[in-house]
Every structure is written in structure tokens, then in C-alpha cells.
Chains A and B, each alone.
Chain A
Amino acid sequence: MPTNDSKSPRDFIAGHIVDMPRSGIRDFFDIVSTMKDIISLGIGEPDFDTPWHVREYTVFALERGATHYTSNMGLLELRRAISKYVEKAFRASYKPETEILITVGVSEALDLALRATLNPGDEVLYHEPCYVSYRSDVILAHGTPVTVETKRDNQFRLTRAMLEAKATPRTKVLLLNFPNNPTGAILRKEDLVEIAAFARERNLLVITDEIYAELTYDGEHTSIASLPGMKERTIFLHGFSKAWAMTGFRLGYACAPPELTEAMMKVHQYTMLCAPTMSQKAAIEALTKPQTAVVEMTAEYRRRRNYLVKSFEEMGLPCTTPAGAFYAFPYIGHLGIASKDFALKFLDREKVAVVPGTAFGACGEGFVRCAYATSMENIQEAMRRMARFVQSLKKG
């Protein structure tokens, strides 16, 4: 038999993985992690620890032996609690027995939703700037991502007209994430209604990642799943990482009609089996007890947001007021410097980390993401340094 000694380990890698770029955030992380004593506005997770009652209950659950597998779908008690909560908070009704699947974070839930629904070449409409994994997740599921760019000049709104312009006969899925990471934009009610009509007319499936829903500061969050005629074509994704400050628990869920839930469950059972049992117990505690901590954390985020927006205004950096999540996305394009260079120089000169907007899509050029999931003290100091830095750039 002929042998081939020239084969490199790289040759084993699947084509669509070779072509997939590393997350832009990872490159930046590698640089930041070599530095000491920096103030980071680059962290996409709450600075608050998980509420104590949840941590304490998790330990109790472990002591009681919550160390075994659960059913593939997840603990029924948790699914019941989620059903109640989603009904109340999002006005969308899902049966705990057949329409709710517990997952390892929204990350897994999104992967399941895409893998369970995409045939090779199916097109997925998604909006940028967006969370770093959407595009790659679609590719991993052998779909074709189609980008819809949202713009600062209309507050990063997503409208029906923008979707129409990119839709083709192969479009199958519309992927939404509002409140949005990294812009903090939310969907306006009038846009939401139009987008829902678009999805119905085109017979699209909507996958909606509403992980930041509770962190909405102006007005009330409305889920597309609650609109008439939408439940049957929507996979609603949510989890505990952000509002409950439970990132490390890795717990999320998908709500969808029984057929879709069953399809996602198939992928989940063969790849994950079930979400961690102690995390599921923790989630029951988080959902069924008074939401005091969530309310307090949200109020604190709102105060920090106000502080940031005012600071950017004084620095002369245009910034759409983020209506949700914990990110501000100020414009720096007029300073004559690319996002990545801004972030690198700022880090080098002032020891403050912000994330280049390009990590969230090409149209993020001209922006940087500043997360306000850090203490007021850090935010104040970071803003003092940023004002100084921006001033120095203006002088050339």
C-alpha cells in the first residue's frame, strides 16, 4: 500500500473549520491577558456574584445528592418553573412536558436550534453587529449566514425593509438578538410587528435569543414569540447567565412547539445528554424565589449606563443610548483611527481594555464596545482615562 508521509495534522481538519476565523475577541483576549493592572470594560458577564441564596441552595442540592443525570429534557420541576416565568414575563405559553428543553447555556440552545432545522445551504438572516458566535454557529450547522447590517444613524434598528433586501427563496431562518450585544439596541414594537409579518409571509422560522430581556432600561421588553401567529414558527432562547449573574452555571433553555423541541432534543441527547443537575437545581431556586437581586442589579446597570452615556457625550463620542443589556457602543470613527488600533493604543497608553467593534462584524468598524458590568469606581476611572485618550487623538 502506498504511504503518504507528507500528511500534516492540519489535513485532518474539516474544510468548514479550517476556513472559520478565530473569534476577534480571542485575539484581543490574548493581548490583554499578558498585561497587569488593567481596567477592563471588555467583560461580557456580570460583575455581581450569583445571588447568595442561589449559591447556598446549590451547595445544599449537592449535599442532598443532586449529582446524577436528569432526563434529557431537564428536571420537570425546572421546566414547570420556566413555563410559569416565561408566561408571566414574556406572555408566551409553553407546556413544560413537551415544549421546553433545558440546555447548557443559550450557546448550546442556539447550536441545537440551528442543527435541528438547517439543511446544507439553507440561508439564515442575522443582524450585525452581533454576538461573536452567530455566524460561525450557522456555518457549523452547514447553513449559509446572510448578514443584515444595522446602523448607528437609526439607532441600530432592525426593520422589515432591511430584511426584505437580503431575503432570497433559500432563506429559512431569521435569527434575532434583542436587547443586543454589543449595541444595547432593543426592537421597537412597531418594527417587531412588521418583522413578525415578514416571517409569517415568507414562512420563516424565527430563532430569538432574549438572554438580556430582563436588563431592559427604557420601556418594556416584548418577545416576538408573544405576537399572534408567531409561537408556531419561533424558537425562544433564554437562560440564567445575565440577569441572574449565573454565567458559570452554564444553564439555558429553548422553548418551541413540540415538533421542534423534539428535534432539538434528539441532537441534545446524543451530544450533551443533559444539562448539569446542580445547575438545574440552582435555576429552580433562582426562578421561584423573590427576584430582589435581579431588580437591584438591573437598577445598578441603569445608573452605570447613564454615567457612561453622559461621559461619551462630554468626550464628543456619539453613542446611541443603550436601551438594554450591559454594553455601550460609542462611535470613534471620526477620530481617524480604526477600531482595533483604537483599542490597542488605548490599552497600551491608558491600561483600559475595550473591545474593537469589528469583533462583532465588519460593520462594527468605527466603534468600540464598552461593557458596564464593572464597578462604578472602575467606570469612573476608565472614563477619565478615555477622555484623556480621545483628547490626545484629536490633537493628533
Chain B
Amino acid sequence: MDELLTILKNNALEKPETIARMLNLSVDAVKARIADYEKQGIIRGYQAILNVDQLDISHVTAVIEVKVTPEREGGFDRIASRISRYPEVQSLYLMSGAYDLLLFVAGKDLKEVAFFVSEKLATLDGVVSTATHFMLKTYKHHGVLMETQDADERLQVSP
């Protein structure tokens, strides 16, 4: 992977000026490459990684396994595309194995998610069955630990 993307994946807020120094490039070259990645749709967005558990709000996330009937010609893509349009759906993947689609669905409480599953998801044409699992606690999200790490314990000066 392009080293520029490695840097941005690690910290999307890294300034083009800093990246330029790290990669021995001009600032303009870095800006142009980022713009190009955005235009191509390789960079799809920039988000903060939150530890929502620390916020004083009611929220719940469910992981839902969905079995669907693939369509002739359309395969899984058409139904997956339909499901992905629901704003409740945070992430959606096609899986190998015992089920077909894996969904991450967010809501403010259990009832809201249950409503989404029973009224919207399960009633879609092509959806054969669903299995819903509620998340209890987040330990790591997008490669980031949710627990604060100890400060640097190295000696301040060493040979």
C-alpha cells in the first residue's frame, strides 16, 4: 500500500506539510495525491474514532447475521445494496460460511434495533433468516484500543 495511505489510515489529521517531510515530497505533491485518492473514491471519508461507552448517551450496537436467497444475475449485490441504504446499518459485509451478510446496526436502545430487524430487515424479499447479537462493551475499534495505555516508562536518557 502507498505509504501516504498508511500514514492517513493511522492519523487522518496528519497535515500535508508533515506528510511531505516524512516522505521527502513537496507539499503540493502530497495535496495532489490526496485529492486524487478522494476523487477516485479510494479515500471515502475521514472520521473520529469514539469510545461511545464513555459518552453519557443511550446507544446499542447489534451484529446481525443474515441469510439471503441470491438472485439470478444479481447475486448478493442487489439485496446487499438495498440493506446498506438503511441509515441504521453502520457496516455490511458479504461473508463466507454459515450465513451470507453480516451487519453492524446501531440504535438508541434494544427496542429500536428490534424494530428495525422485525419490521424492515426480516420483511425484505430475499431475506431468509436473521440472528441478532447485541454488543456489550467495546475493547478495540478500528485498530484502536479503548483502554488508555500506560505512559512511556522508558528511561528518559539511555545510551
A-side residues, CB < 8 A to B, are 23, 25, 28-29, 32-33, 38, 40, 42-45, 47, 131-133, 181, 299, 303-304, 306-307, 310-311, 353, 355, 359, 376, 380
Contacts and interface: CB of A to CB of B under 8 A. Distances in A.
B156 A47 contact: no
Given A47-B152, A306-B22, A307-B22, A131 B157 contact: no
By secondary structure, the B interface counts as loop
A44 B21 contact: no
B21 A311 contact: yes
A238 to B, nearest CB: 18
Contact of A43 (B3, B18, B158): B158
By Cβ-Cβ distance, the 4 closest A-B pairs, closest first, are: A303-B22, A42-B157, A29-B157, A307-B21
Contacts of B24: 306, 310
Interface in B116-159: 152, 154-159
A243 B6 CA distance: 20
B4 to A, nearest CB: 10
B18 A33 contact: no
B56 to A, nearest CB: 29
B21 A42 contact: no
A175 B12 CA distance: 45
Contacts of B7: 303
Interface residues of B, number: 16
Given A47-B152, A299-B6, A303-B3, A353 B21 contact: no
B29 interface: no
Contacts of A133: 159
Contacts of B152: 47
Q: Which one of B18, B23, B158 has the highest number of Cβ atoms from chain A below 10 Å of its Cβ?
A: B158
A278 B152 CA distance: 24
Nearest to A31: B157
Given A299-B3, A303-B23, A306-B24, A44 B158 contact: yes
B22 A47 contact: no
A133 B159 CA distance: 9
A353 B156 CA distance: 8
Contact of B154 (A43, A304, A355, A376): A43
A355 B158 CA distance: 9
Contacts of B156: 29, 32-33, 38, 40, 42-43, 353
A43 B157 contact: yes
Interface string B40-59: 00000000000000000000
A306 B157 contact: no
Nearest to B15: A380
Given A40-B156, A43-B156, A43-B157, 17 more contacts: A28-B157, A29-B157, A29-B158, A32-B156, A42-B156, A44-B158, A45-B154, A47-B152, A47-B154, A132-B159, A299-B6, A303-B7, A304-B22, A307-B21, A311-B21, A353-B156, A355-B157
Nearest to A248: B154
B16 to A, nearest CB: 13
Interface string B10-32: 00001000100111100000000
7 contacts: A23-B159, A25-B159, A29-B158, A133-B159, A181-B159, A307-B18, A376-B22
